[in-house]
Amino acid sequence: MAVLLKPTPNWEEHEKPTLPGSASMPYHTPAVRLAYACVALLVGITGGLGNALVTANLATIQGQLGLTPSEGAWLPAAYVMVNITVNMLVFKFRQQYGLRLFAEIGLGLYAAVTLLHLLVGGFAMAVLVRAASGFAAGTATTLSMLYMLQAAPRAYTGKMVVIGVGIPQLATPLAWLLSPTLLVFGQWHNLYLFEAGLALCSLAAVVVLKLPPGMHVKVFEKKDFISFALMAPGAAMLVAVLAQGYSHWWFDEAWLAWLLIGAVVFILAALFVEHHRENPLLQTRWLVTPNILRFIVGAFLIRFLTSEQTFGAVGLLRTLGMGPDQMQPLFVVILAGTIVGMLASALTFSPRTLIAQLIAAIVLFGVAAMIDYGRTSLDRPEDFFLSQFLVALGSGMFMGPLVFLGISQALKYGPNYVVTFTVVLSLTQSLGAMTGSALLSTYQLHREQVYSSALTADINPADPQVALRLQQQQGVYRALITDPVQRAAQGTALLSQIARREANVRAFNDVFALSGMLALAFLSWSLFVAIRASVRNRRAAAAAVATATASPNPAPPGATKA
C-alpha cells in the first residue's frame, strides 16, 4: 500500500486527483481557467521550441560556431538522449515530490545553462544547452497537459488532454516562422537569448500560478536508480548511432558498431534487472503482451511517417535552394494544419473515435505522400501547401488518441504501469522521428547516387542536344572567363550540378513513394487489427447471449414437479 508523505486535503469527490502525482481538480473562475490555459500553452511550446530553433537553423549555427556536420548532429542528439531517459523518472518524481519542483529545477537549469552559453560559447556548451533543454522538456509536455486540465471542468478532461499533449507539436512550425526575424538582427546569440527568455517566462509562470495540490506518496526505490543507470547510457548510445550513422556512413566507422553493441548490452541488462524486481520501474511482462507490442509498433510507425514532412518536403526545398525566408508561408500553412488537427481531434474525442482518428491520420499521411510524388525542380513552397497541410492535420490529430489508447491499457493494471507507458511513448516518438530521418536520408542518398550515375552516363558531348546545352552553360561565363578551355570546363561542371540536382529531385520522389507505400501497408494492417477485434467482440457478445438464453430458468420457490 502506498505511503502518504503529506496529509491530503478534504477533497470533494469531483476534486480528487486521478492518480498520485496528478493535480486535484477544484473549481476555478473563468479568468483563472484562462490563465491556466495560457500557462499550458507557454510551457508546452517552451519544451520543444528551443530544440526546434536549433534544428531549423542547424546549418547556420554550424557555420557561425565553426562546427563540422558531424559535430552539428550532436546538438539535436543531445536533446533526445536526455529527454527519452529523464522520462523514466518524471512520473515517479511527481508522485513523490510533485511535478512543480521538478519543473522549477529543469526550467531553472535550462535558463541558466542557456545564458551561460551566451557568455562562453563553443561546441561543448552548445551540447550542454541541448541536454539541459531535453531535461526541461521532459516535464514540459506533462506540465502542459496538467495545466490544460485546469482550464475546463472535469467533464472535458479527455478533450483537454488532447489539446495539452498536442501543444508541443506547435514548436516546429513556430521555430521556422520565428527564425528569420531572430537571425536578421544578429547571429546565433539571438536564438539562444530567445530560448533563455522563454525558459525564464515559463519558470515565472509555473511559480506564480501553481497547480492545485495532489497526493504525494513514497514510490522511489534504490533499484530504480540502478535500472536508470543502465537504461540511460543504452538509450543514449542508440540515439548516437542514429544521429551519426548518416554523417560517418553506417558501415565505415567501427565505433558506430561498438556503440550499437553497447546500447544492446545496457538496455538488455536494464530489462533483466527490471524483469526480476518485485516492484519494477518497467513492467517487462506487460511489454511483451500482444496489445502492447501492437501499440509499440503502431506508435513508432505513425511517428516515422511524419518524417515525410520534416525530411521529405523540407529536405527537397532545401536542396532546391529554399531557405527559412522562402519557406515561411509554407510553415504558416503547417501551423494552421496542426492547430486544426488538434482541435478536430479534441472536438470529436470519445472512446469510440480513438481508432478512427488514428486511421484518419494514417490516410492523411498516405494521401500527402501521393500528392508529393512527381515533384520537379520547378516546384516551390506554395506547391506543397495542400500536401503539407494534410500531413500537419494528421500530426495534430494522432497524438491525443495515441496517448489515451496507451494510458487506458496501462490503467487496467494499475498506476505503476503508467511509468512503463510513459517510457514507451517517449521512446517510440523520439526514436521513430530519428529513425525516420536517418533511414529516409540514407535511402535518398542511395537513390540520388543511382540517378546521378544514370544521368551522367547519358551525357555525351557528341549528342547535338547535349552539345547545345553545354554551349548554353558556357555562355553564362562568357563575360567572366575569356579562356575558352576554362569556360568549357566551367560549363561542363555547371551541367553536372544541374544533373545532380535533378537526381536529388528524383530521389526525393522515391522517398515520397516509399512513405506512401509504408502508409498504405500500415493502414491495411491497422484495418485488419481493428476488424478482427470487432469480429471477436461481436462473437463474444453473441456467445454470451446464447449462453444466457440456453441456460434453464431456476424453478420458483415452492414449485413441485407435475
CATH of the domain at 128: 1.20.1250.20
Give 217's strand partners.
4
Residue where a domain stops, chosen among 278, 294, 325: 278
Phi and psi at 286, nearest 5°, equal -70, -35
- Of 261, 272, 273, 257, nearest in space to 234 by CA: 261
- Taking a C-beta distance cutoff of 8 angstroms, is the pair 256, 247 a contact? no
| Residue 214 grid coordinates | 495532489
Q: Residue 86 in contact with residue 210, Cβ under 8 Å?
A: no
Tell me: do 193 and 50 sit in the same domain: yes
**For 190-197, which contacts have Cβ atoms below 8 Å and span 24 or more sequence positions?**
191/53, 191/54, 191/57, 191/61, 192/114, 192/117, 192/118, 192/129, 193/118, 194/53, 195/49, 195/50, 195/53, 195/114, 195/129, 195/133, 196/111, 196/114, 196/115, 196/118
Same domain, 489 and 468: yes
Crossing angle (nearest 10°) for helices 99-120 and 123-149: 150
Residue 161, C-alpha cell as written in the block? 488532454
Residue 547 CB neighbours (<10 A)? 9
Distance (Å, rounded) from C-alpha 398 to C-alpha 284? 26
Same domain, 230 and 204: no
DSSP tag of 3: P
Query: Is the domain of 31 the same as that of 89?
Result: yes
- Residue 162 within any structural domain of the chain: yes
pTM greater than 0.85? no
- pLDDT at position 334 is 92
Is 214 in the same domain as 241? no
pLDDT reported for residue 488: 66
* DSSP label at residue 250: T
- Check whether residue 234 and residue 165 sit in a common domain: no
415 part of a folded domain: no
71 with 112, same domain?
A: yes
DSSP-based three-state secondary structure for 217: strand
Angle at 95 between CA 90 and CA 98, to 5 degrees: 80
Helices (H), 121-221: 123-149, 157-166, 171-184, 189-208
CA-CA distance, 304 to 428, in Å (whole number)?
9
Residues 251 and 129 in one domain: no
> In the structure grid, which three cell numbers stand for residue 201, read together?
517566462
SS3 label, residue 52: helix
Rounded Cα distance between 42 and 107, Å, is: 12
Answer yes or no: do 207 and 229 share one domain. no
The pLDDT, as a whole number, for residue 562 is 38
Q: Tell me whether residue 496 is in a domain.
A: yes
Is 193 domain-assigned?
yes
**Is residue 332 within 8 Å of 521, Cβ to Cβ?**
no
- Verify that 173 and 253 share a domain, yes or no: no
Predicted pLDDT at 190: 80
Looking at the structure of the chain, the number of domains it has is 3
Residue 354 lies in a domain: no
Query: Would you give the distance in Å from CA 246 to the centre of its chain?
Result: 20
Q: How far does the chain reach from its first CA to its final CA, in angstroms?
A: 58
Q: Which of 257, 278, 299 is the last residue of a domain?
A: 278
411 CB contacts (<8 Å, ≥6 apart)? 417, 418
Q: Which of 61, 279, 52, 1 is nearest to 168 (CA)?
A: 52
Position 10 scores a pLDDT of 73
Q: What does the DSSP 8-state code read for residue 557?
A: T
173 to 345, 360, 395, 402: CA distances (angstroms): 19, 22, 12, 21
CA distance linking residue 174 with residue 221, whole number of Å:
40
Picking from 127, 115, 116, the residue whose alpha carbon sits closest to that of residue 73 is: 127
Q: Which residue, of 236, 256, 278, is where some domain finishes?
A: 278
Q: Position of cell 499533449?
A: 165
Residue 177 resides in a domain: yes
Residues 165 and 316: beta-carbon distance below 8 Å = no
The string of DSSP letters for 269-306 reads: HHHHHHHT-SS-SS-HHHHTSHHHHHHHHHHHHHHHHT
Residues 94 and 160 in one domain: yes
Q: Which amino acid does the sequence have at 215? A: M
Confidence (pLDDT) at 269: 92
Grid cell for residue 252: 565505415
Statement to judge: residues 191 and 253 lie in one domain: no
Q: Tell me, what's the pLDDT at 561?
A: 45
pLDDT < 70 regions, the chain: 1-7, 9, 14, 20-21, 99, 120-121, 185-187, 458-463, 465-493, 495, 550-562
pLDDT value of position 222: 83
3-state secondary structure of 4: strand
- 561 occurs within a structural domain: no
Assigned domain for 372 exists: no
**Domain extent for 476:** 449-535
Which residues, listed in sequence order, are joined to residue 4 by a DSSP beta bridge?
217
Please enumerate in sequence order all residues whose Cβ is within 8 A of that of 346, keeping only pairs 6 or more positions apart, or say none: 159, 160, 162, 163, 166, 400
User: In a 10 Å sphere around its CB, with 0-12 CB exposed, 13-18 middle and 19+ buried, how is residue 552 labelled?
Assistant: exposed
